[in-house]
Amino acid sequence: MNTAKNYVVGLTGGIGSGKSAAAAMFRAWGIEVINADALAREVVEPGQPALNDIAAHFGSDILTAESYLDRAALRRIVFSNPEQKSWLENLLHPLIAVLLQQRLNATESPYTILESPLLLETEQYKLVERVLVIDASEEIQIDRTVKRDGSDEGVIRSIIASQIDRAKRIQHADDLVSNEEGLEQLRAKIEVLHYKYIGLVTKQ
């Protein structure tokens, strides 16, 4: 159950579904967004114990010349090796969970968005009151991700396969937004949800 002091909506969706675009639209309404991916990067910054553990486990080749984590290299390893992926998750998820709770407790907007691709795969869903799923077909996910960061299609498919099944994700949704059109259509849907969440908070 959410133990944060205010109302938290979990925002999730598969890679390339449009989570970041939706999060930006909530920010435009003055809503604070806590990004789980950003916290995941924070816990592996140079000097953090988790980065030392990762380098010791995977070898120094996992670091850049500037001693930062080479996320692309790590991604290639863990998404082709379930055992290594589990090791990494067991290290990072508890650290991220602690940071998430701290940041959620510090927010001051009428409600808070917790943006996380792994909201339903981890226990992060326990931190939220509602789940908002941004949904798109697998073909659209792949096309957007390739255009966005030039990732290899095979790697993208591995990431999609590692995430919760699309149908199961939809089943967990309290609010479902199809994002297979344009940004204007998405913005209109987010505006409706913003006022819905304001109403829910007001009733508390």
* CATH number for the domain harbouring residue 46: 3.40.50.300
Token pair for residue 151? 């990732």
SS3 content of the chain, % helix, strand, coil (to 5): 55, 15, 30
Whole-angstrom CA distances from 103 to 57, 60, 137, 143 are 29, 31, 32, 33
Show Cβ contacts of residue 2 under 8 Å, excluding neighbours closer than 6 positions. Answer: 8, 104, 126, 127, 128, 129
How far is 61 from 201, CA to CA, in rounded Å? 48
This prediction's pTM = 0.84
Which positions of the chain have pLDDT values less than 50?
A: 1-4
The predicted pLDDT at position 5 comes to 62
What DSSP designation does 122 have?
S
The predicted pLDDT at position 34 comes to 97
The predicted pLDDT at position 1 comes to 43
Domain with 177, as residue range(s), is 7-203
How far is 28 from 121, CA to CA, in rounded Å? 28
The predicted pLDDT at position 144 comes to 87
| Residue 2 within a domain | no
pLDDT digits (tens, 9 = 90+) for 156-171: 888 888 788 999 999 9
Show Cβ contacts of residue 53 under 8 Å, excluding neighbours closer than 6 positions. Answer: 91
The predicted pLDDT at position 2 comes to 46
How far is 127 from 132, CA to CA, in rounded Å? 13
| Residue 1 within a domain | no
The predicted pLDDT at position 84 comes to 94
Strand order in the sheet with 175-178: 32-35, 111-115, 7-12, 130-135, 175-178
First to last CA, the chain: 16
Please count the structural domains in the chain. Answer: 1
| Residue 191 within a domain | yes
| Residue 80 within a domain | yes
| Residue 119 within a domain | yes
pLDDT digits (tens, 9 = 90+) for 27-53: 999 999 999 999 999 999 999 999 999
